Structure 1
Amino acid sequence: MTTQHCLLVRDGTFVALGPSGDITGDRGAQPDGLFARDARHLSRWQLTVDGSTPTVLVPASPAGPGAPATAFAVLTPPGSRAEAPAHTVFREQAVTEGAFTERIRLSSNRGEPSTTMLALTVDADFVDQFELRSDHRWYEKPHAVRTRAALPDGVEFGYRRSEWRSRTVVTAQPAPDAVEETGSGARRLVWLLRLAPHGAAEVALRVDAHPHGAPEPATTGADPFLSAPALPRLPGRGATPGLPSDLGPDLGRDARPDLAGVDEAGGPDEGWSGPELARACAQGLAELAALRVSATGPEGEPLKVPAAGVPWFLALLARHAVVTSLFTVHSRPELASATLLALAGSQATTEEPERVAQPGKIVHELRHGELAHFGQVPYGRYYGSVDSTPLFLALLGAHAAATDDGKLALRLQRHARAAVDWMFHHGGLADGGYLRYRADEGGLANQSWKDSPGSICFADGTRAKGVITAAAAQGYAYEALRQAAYLARHHWDDAAYAERMEAEARSLRARFVADFWLPEQGFTALALDGQGRRVDALASDAGHLLWTGILDAEHGEAVGRRLLEPDFFSGWGIRTLAAGQEAYHPLSYHRGCVWPHDSAIAALGLARYGLHDEAREVCRGLLDLAASADFHIPEAIAGYGREEHAEPVPYPHACSPQAWSAATPFAILTALTAATPSDTPTPSC
């Protein structure tokens, strides 16, 4: 997110701080505060020294790459060359699961004793994140009550509404000399600090968030996610990497990868900078570790799964979690196993139209906030996604192949077969030949990965209407059928089912090009609209078709080369919509911006079809993008080309960190390892 805020995140909790380390209670596009389980548990945290607001000398910023949960700031009272500041304030702030801590050190700059009044104004408004968005919606909260109570060492804020209960507890050491009312509901904690000549005094504060229904925070200790080696075991050089478990043309082949083609520094040894890629992978792992949130499996077992991103999506979104897990399945298979178990545990078993749920469908989004709890937003358990279900099947097969362990595939066999049944009986494969969706009134208008309003459009910008058949989802369906066949043949002992899935995959592949190909453009349509017309915007979704292998060699190679033309490739990555079309806008979320994960998917697809130079060019752009920001990869950047601006132009509303962007270096590594000349044929069903 392009903002003055410093964002710290860890284990389902995040804080957004201003440059001074303060929280002001902002709303709109860039709210600040301490957030846990979709609620703001700290809405004011404002420091004054001797009654005035200090000047920022060093703005709050994360401690460094790989440390996304700690920040430092340095402040001083107003001063001048003639009268230097009497003291300096050092702030160290951190976030952990369910908690925010701060250590304030007040250091005297003078040679005589002094007494200074330090004050901190604090409040907790407990608003739901959906209330903070800039769409100006208002939600009724009948009989809601907020409380404040002074404690011997701080203050406690409470909130209740019917059965809903939340608390925020602020404690300090030493205890404040006074806890004052402010007239606004906030409380002011006050200390009188006596400083020796050139001496210092410290105040340590802790804020504990107690959201409604939250599990107890996990015990701390060494995190195996971070202590394991960063570099994955990868497909061998010359492999054709579709989805990570499908590295070749035959479903039955041994898909276990090795590290061939990667040098000791962690990168391909064909003129690439291994240290660059290793740094990007290490930074990505640190961000993924911070983004994990709690979930439960089919038997209620506690899990840690990748959340989508901060600030708006610190929650389980299936599509993001699956793609993240696919990118990292060779390095961190535990992410994939946790994601699979969480999605199996929330798989729909009945029809619920208000949730867009049908039996066997995989959830799109899980939320825990107040508005979701009371049904005022549909996202508590929401199934408005056409591609979560096939992606679940793709990941299940990928995990089994990457780990050479079929226990999870066997355990989730019932869930996988139910997902296949959903694709045919509810998703649309049986009666229409494709996965389809209709806009959900009150929920998501679009239910493929480009899910913003207007993202599925014609080249002139006209929105597609009616029942939508998104192209990328058909690629995922093709991969899901192939993975179901692989699982049935190798782990479920059901050859007949495998043969049926293979036949369905071949049939889907055969009809796809006939229905989606745009002969004049030599490219695939973005979708089919409700009248069966080809939605003719030229879009990056074609890269997903390469990734999944649904195109034959001739059409796949044509699409791959087209994605590297200047109207698509910005030099940093592939634009979501090719420039020059009326629908294109360089700052549009899904109609012009460059999404690194989307470009990484295309790179994997290019390597799969033997377009090795093109794959390397995309990967080079993505690595340059990473290097420009200390190897942090944003959710999206503007579509401006490198010839227009020498540095990447930020997208102003991007999540940061964001899971599939954090996982992108691992997809780059997979693509680069495979992107060497070989005689491996393009995959075929």
Structure 2
Amino acid sequence: MKELISLLEGNTFVVSDRRGDIEPSLEYPTGLFSFDTRFLSTWILTLDGERLHALSVDEETSYETTYFLVPGEPSHYVDTQISVLRQRAINGSFEETLTVLNHTTKAVDLALRMEIGSDFADLFEIKNAQRKPAGATAQVEDSTLVLNYRRQKFHRQVRVTSSVPASVDEQGMTFHLRIEQHGEWRTTLHTKALIIGADGRDFRETLPIGMDRPVDEIRAERQQFRALAPKLTCDYLPLATAYETSVRDLGSLRYESIAFGSQLIAAGLPWFMTLFGRDSIFTALQALPFLPHLVPSTIAILAGLQGSRLDDFRDEEPGKILHELRYGELAGFEEQPHSPYYGSADSTPLFVILLDEYERWTGDQQLVRRLEVQARAALDWIDTYGNSRGTGYIYYQTRNPRSGLPNQCWKDSDDAVSFRDGRLPGFPRATCELQGYAYDAKIRGARLARTVWNDGVYARRLEREAAELKERFNRDFWVADGEYYALALDADGNQVDALSSNIGHLLWSGIVDTDRAARVAEHLLGPRMFTGWGVRTLATEQGRYNPLGYHVGTVWPFDNSIIAWGLWRYGLRDQAGQICTGLLAASRHFEGRLPEAFAGYQRDLTNYPVQYPTACSPQAWSAGAPLLLLRVMLGLQPHEDHLIIDPSVPPGLGRIEILDLPGRWGTADALGRSRLV
């Protein structure tokens, strides 16, 4: 895959090649995007009819960048006589300042051209390599290039203007330049992407944060966000870099919901710039000790959109928490069920887990009281619609065979759930981690019932059900001939016996019998699963293992952070430390930004982690992973109005100190040092 450069601010982002160009393509997700629509699919700069070549790209921030370009191929024998700077910013709109520099001793005449076009593609069309019928129009209005797409009430528009006069046609803008010796020429192209309602106004004008903010205002707001995060000092540079990058990326992934006016965390660029139930909850859990102010809006919006009816098209059920919310054309016309879509079986118990964890850290009982009805409805879903087979386990099967997700666990690709020999089970399926989440949700729901809702009877019932689930689970999911937990049960209750990273989530949930935890850890840290960088999603000898398979052999930083948390919970600190050091070492090769996933090759084979070709970056729960690893290494745990600090810093990392950790205790500092080996 060719190298792509991204800019991001709110729900608007640009993906281009290294020259800054955007070409119409369904192979690469390049373009100017906002709220699931591609507003620019062509943005190509030429000088005297020739494409330019990049010397360098400044990527210091996520919302502005500069491309340093020259015409022709640079050579040792011919000095470049002309250079071009493309200074680009996302600030609600899309601005690009073009500067042409003449390095010669005489005046030059040049023709600078920007090809401009839009297919107004829905993000799902790009992801699934589909093209919509032609429908976009282009026209020139008073030196403004106007691109339009309308389908009934769905109306999207792009308006492009230049700060200096241009020759504007329906395919772009041309500038005829004369630049004196050692002189320069400059223009700014201003592009507005409009989501137009029936009243002719841009919907986004109603957002609290406003549109077209000055870059200085964005910069100040990002600095303020960073200042809210605890201060980390440490001896291990990769940890410091990963922490700073994670905080910066979580700040850049925030966006204003067009429907609810609340600030949320998008799941990841480029495919998932929207609210996801599962991803948003896990990101909130990872970030909670450091950035608790990110969490309430996520909980509140998920509660507000909780399922209330049976809707087969959207996989909606009463009490169910959504999977994904989209704003594009296909969702609007119900060609995709994402308005919102409820096809995940894990977001509902995870919602209860997050609500409890948030209260443990912050003491915000007001929110827990306000969402009591929604939390009880989520717990009821576990025992009713989730328990569709009547066996006491969460099973899933889409109600929408045409466009619903077949796999509704976090490994949601088609081949992610298999027997060890590679066969795929039928539906419905009950993956192991879902049962762990259900167990944890009941335990946490019982605590909230007893301490906040003042309902001891309900608390005792939930605790009894959790204990029964744990006993039943340890009987039915344990693979005796391998001494690990099966990936899933099939519709007949047979074990889907692949060895997978899902068993690490069981440790996090607490459903694993104590006397089996060490054996589970041996599998996770053994050579079949641990690459040296992290735990593979699927063990090497399994039938469907592929080190470049999305969920069948790659390493996911998010997955590994949860596994490390689970190992820590069972007192397996050395094993948790192995995962921490492996991931942090891997982060060095990604400049501190852990991607969505990377290849599952053994560390001694490559000496560096191999990129997965279509991984999202930045991605929210990958950005959250270093934060959770930091929590694990310092042993941070809330207890009533105190913060417990029980560090176990892996060898080689030296000293770790973090200041001003926020919580119900006010703020606290934590310090840990590597143990001697």
Give CA deviations for 1:449-480 in whole Å, capped at 9, x if unaligned.
00000101011111111210110111111111
Give CA deviations for 1:557-580 in whole Å, capped at 9, x if unaligned.
211222100111101100000112
* 1:660 match: secondary structure: helix
Q: Within 5 A, what are the aligned runs for 1:53-202?
A: 53-58=51-56, 61=57, 63-64=59-60, 67-78=61-72, 80=75, 83-97=78-92, 99-133=93-127, 135-137=128-130, 145-176=135-166, 178-181=167-170, 187-202=171-186
**In 2, Cα distance between equivalents of 1:429 and 1:509:** 19
Displacement after TM superposition at 1:227 (Å): 2.2
Code of the aligned partner of 2:144: G
- The 1:318/1:473 distance shift into structure 2, 3 A limit, reads same
For 2:246, which of 280, 284, 287 is the aligned residue? 284
Code of the aligned partner of 1:48: T
Displacement after TM superposition at 1:371 (Å): 0.7
Displacement after TM superposition at 1:274 (Å): 4.9
**In 2, Cα distance between equivalents of 1:230 and 1:518:** 49
* Conservation of the 8 A alpha-carbon contact between 1:468 and 1:528: yes
* Conservation of the 8 A alpha-carbon contact between 2:195 and 2:204: no
Q: Within 5 A, what are the aligned runs for 1:194-343?
A: 194-212=178-196, 214-216=203-205, 218-219=209-210, 220=213, 221=217, 226-228=223-225, 265-266=232-233, 273-295=235-257, 301-343=260-302
Asked if 1:535 is matched to 2:496, the reply is yes
Q: Within 5 A, what are the aligned runs for 1:606-685?
A: 606-674=567-635, 676=647
**In 1, Cα distance between equivalents of 2:257 and 2:110:** 46
**In 1, Cα distance between equivalents of 2:454 and 2:605:** 57
Displacement after TM superposition at 1:412 (Å): 1.1
Code of the aligned partner of 2:79: A
Displacement after TM superposition at 1:232 (Å): 6.3
Could you tell which deviates more after superposition, 565-574 or 221-230? 221-230
Structure of greater relative contact order (alpha carbons < 8 Å, 6+ residues apart):
1
**In 1, Cα distance between equivalents of 2:458 and 2:477:** 28
Displacement after TM superposition at 1:55 (Å): 2.9
Give CA deviations for 1:34-63 in whole Å, capped at 9, x if unaligned.
1111111001111111222223333xx452
Displacement after TM superposition at 1:94 (Å): 2.2
* Conservation of the 8 A alpha-carbon contact between 2:285 and 2:354: yes
Code of the aligned partner of 2:442: L
- The 1:327/1:43 distance shift into structure 2, 3 A limit, reads same
Displacement after TM superposition at 1:417 (Å): 1.2
Code of the aligned partner of 1:179: V
Which residue of structure 1 aligns with residue 20 of structure 2? 21
Displacement after TM superposition at 1:115 (Å): 2.6
Asked if 1:470 is matched to 2:462, the reply is no
Which residue of structure 1 aligns with residue 332 of structure 2? 373
* 1:546 match: secondary structure: helix
**In 2, Cα distance between equivalents of 1:592 and 1:145:** 42
Displacement after TM superposition at 1:153 (Å): 4.3
Code of the aligned partner of 1:128: D
- The 1:172/1:457 distance shift into structure 2, 3 A limit, reads same
* 1:561 match: secondary structure: helix
- The 1:627/1:94 distance shift into structure 2, 3 A limit, reads same
Q: Within 5 A, what are the aligned runs for 1:339-350?
A: 339-350=298-309
**In 2, Cα distance between equivalents of 1:113 and 1:591:** 60
Tell me the percent identity: 37
- The 1:429/1:500 distance shift into structure 2, 3 A limit, reads farther
Which residue of structure 2 aligns with residue 51 of structure 1? 49
Displacement after TM superposition at 1:587 (Å): 0.5
Q: Within 5 A, what are the aligned runs for 1:305-454?
A: 305-428=264-387, 431-439=390-398, 440-441=400-401, 442-454=403-415
**In 2, Cα distance between equivalents of 1:101 and 1:112:** 31
Displacement after TM superposition at 1:212 (Å): 4.9
* Conservation of the 8 A alpha-carbon contact between 1:612 and 1:676: no
Displacement after TM superposition at 1:411 (Å): 1.2
Code of the aligned partner of 2:120: F
**In 2, Cα distance between equivalents of 1:86 and 1:561:** 62
Displacement after TM superposition at 1:387 (Å): 0.5
Displacement after TM superposition at 1:376 (Å): 0.8
Which residue of structure 2 aligns with residue 589 of structure 1? 550
**In 2, Cα distance between equivalents of 1:651 and 1:81:** 35
Code of the aligned partner of 2:474: V
**In 1, Cα distance between equivalents of 2:459 and 2:430:** 26
Displacement after TM superposition at 1:429 (Å): 7.6
RMSD: 2.1
Gaps spanning 5+ residues in structure 2: where?
198-202, 636-645, 650-677
Displacement after TM superposition at 1:81 (Å): 5.2
- The 1:210/1:433 distance shift into structure 2, 3 A limit, reads same
Give CA deviations for 1:170-216 in whole Å, capped at 9, x if unaligned.
1211131x1124xxxxx221112232210111111121111356432
* Conservation of the 8 A alpha-carbon contact between 1:72 and 1:91: yes
Code of the aligned partner of 1:349: S
- The 1:655/1:661 distance shift into structure 2, 3 A limit, reads same
Which residue of structure 2 aligns with residue 7 of structure 1? 6
* 2:377 match: secondary structure: helix
* 1:507 match: secondary structure: helix
* 1:91 match: secondary structure: strand
Displacement after TM superposition at 1:676 (Å): 4.6
* Conservation of the 8 A alpha-carbon contact between 1:48 and 1:120: yes
Could you tell which deviates more after superposition, 487-496 or 517-526? 487-496
Code of the aligned partner of 1:424: D
Which residue of structure 1 aligns with residue 675 of structure 2? none
Which residue of structure 2 aligns with residue 564 of structure 1? 525
* Conservation of the 8 A alpha-carbon contact between 2:477 and 2:489: yes
**In 2, Cα distance between equivalents of 1:351 and 1:317:** 20
* 1:343 match: secondary structure: helix
Which residue of structure 2 aligns with residue 246 of structure 1? none
Could you tell which deviates more after superposition, 152-161 or 309-318? 152-161
* Conservation of the 8 A alpha-carbon contact between 1:575 and 1:593: yes
**In 1, Cα distance between equivalents of 2:66 and 2:79:** 22
Code of the aligned partner of 2:84: V
Displacement after TM superposition at 1:80 (Å): 4.9
* 1:380 match: secondary structure: coil
Displacement after TM superposition at 1:82 (Å): 5.3
Give CA deviations for 1:503-534 in whole Å, capped at 9, x if unaligned.
11111111111010011111000000111111
**In 2, Cα distance between equivalents of 1:172 and 1:95:** 16
- The 1:400/1:53 distance shift into structure 2, 3 A limit, reads same
Give CA deviations for 1:290-334 in whole Å, capped at 9, x if unaligned.
2123337xxx75211111111111111110000000001111112
Which residue of structure 1 aligns with residue 444 of structure 2? 483
Could you tell which deviates more after superposition, 6-15 or 656-665? 6-15
Give CA deviations for 1:618-647 in whole Å, capped at 9, x if unaligned.
100000011122101011000001111101
Q: Number of residues paired by the alignment? A: 623
